[in-house]
A = this chain, B = another copy of it.
């Protein structure tokens, strides 16, 4: 225990984590109860509670009323994937961001979009494709459907000036969302747009959002070859 220091919740957090890392407390072990730890570390129970609560949220501890607190046997590591607006992601790396609207049409959705987003086959939607550039090179190709029924204001937005995603972030916050990642091969058309060749491996991110049960948007984001998404854990 690194004594002499001030006992705040952060130091309790670090001390408990240290004991886990040094295997003083092994996976599966029950750790002292809050009151004992508080006494041991010279602080209030509330302070210990705060620290242990954070550690549980981070996946290091399992806590249950009456049963006590144990070190996780399978620390489900939660990679905190920050999904920023593409523009900020690119600018954050010091590159120049570019954006071009390729297509914007008003039409009924494809059966696939209907099923995934849970909207009617006859609903009024905006179908948008656009290309995002980093330092003038193709970075991400976006195909998006936006429900005009749910977000009628979108028809007045100038989507050649601001990307649909950024517009939606500002004007249509969602209550529920889903995101998935996979690997696909570039088709002829996609390859042309991303300036690569058909059959190149592309990283695909699919996003859908709802406001309660009303579908807002479904997007298919295809990243140029070489893209890597990463995160600290």
A144 CB → nearest B CB, Å:
16
Complex Cα spacing A203 to B229, Å = 12
List B contacts of A228 (CB < 8 A): 180-182
A177 within 8 A of B: yes
- Tally of contact residues, A, Cβ under 8 A: 48
A27 and B83 contact, Cβ closer than 8 Å, known pairs A178-B230, A203-B181, A230-B179 = no
Residue in contact with A202 in the complex, picked from B27, B75, B175, B201, CB distance below 8 Å = B201
**Residues of A participating in the B interface, judged by any CB pair closer than 8 Å:** 20-21, 23, 27, 73-85, 88, 169-170, 173, 175-185, 199, 201-204, 207, 211, 225-233
Which 4 residue pairs across A and B have the least CB separation, nearest first? A180-B230, A183-B183, A177-B233, A183-B201
A-B contact pairs, 28 of them (CB 8 A): A20-B173, A21-B173, A73-B170, A74-B84, A74-B169, A75-B169, A75-B173, A76-B83, A77-B82, A77-B83, A77-B177, A78-B81, A78-B83, A79-B81, A79-B179, A80-B80, A83-B233, A176-B232, A177-B232, A178-B231, A178-B233, A179-B232, A182-B203, A182-B227, A183-B203, A183-B227, A185-B199, A201-B202
